Amino acid sequence: MPTPPGPATSERPRTAPTAPRRGQRLLFLAVVFVVLLNFPLLTIFDHDGRVAGVPVLYLYVLLLWVLLVALTGWLVREKQEDQ
């Protein structure tokens, strides 16, 4: 006679993502930012406009850089806590 599923068997165990999965996410993030910092998109922001006295192109590059650092740190830290 089979035993009824209890709390231990009804819940799926949470497994930590493997290192290749983390590498894939970081590689995807790098490719996205290479595309965002590539020539055609940079020309969109290369004009005489200013935001709070800062040229739009400089602001775009700075914000993308901050976002890249923050997302990379979040991905790496999240994976280290799971292990």
Question: What are the two backbone dihedrals, phi and then psi, of residue 57, each rounded to the nearest 5 degrees?
Answer: -65, -45
Find out whether 7 and 69 touch, Cβ atoms under 8 Å.
no
Does 57 reside within a domain? yes
CA distance 43 to 41: 5
- What domain count does the chain have? 1
Q: Is residue 9 part of a domain?
A: no
The answer to the question of residue 32 being in a domain is yes
Residue 78 scores a pLDDT above 70: no
Other Cβ atoms less than 10 A from the Cβ of 42: the count is 13
In a domain, 6, yes or no: no
* Domain enclosing residue 26, as ranges: 17-82
Least confident of 4-8, 16-20, 53-57, 71-75: 4-8
Summarised one tens digit per residue, pLDDT across range 14-68 is: 555 567 788 899 999 999 999 999 999 999 999 999 999 999 999 999 999 999 9
Does some domain include residue 7?
no
Residue of higher predicted confidence among 65 and 83: 65
pLDDT above 90: residue 69: yes
Between 32 and 2, residue with greater pLDDT: 32
Residue 56 within any structural domain of the chain: yes
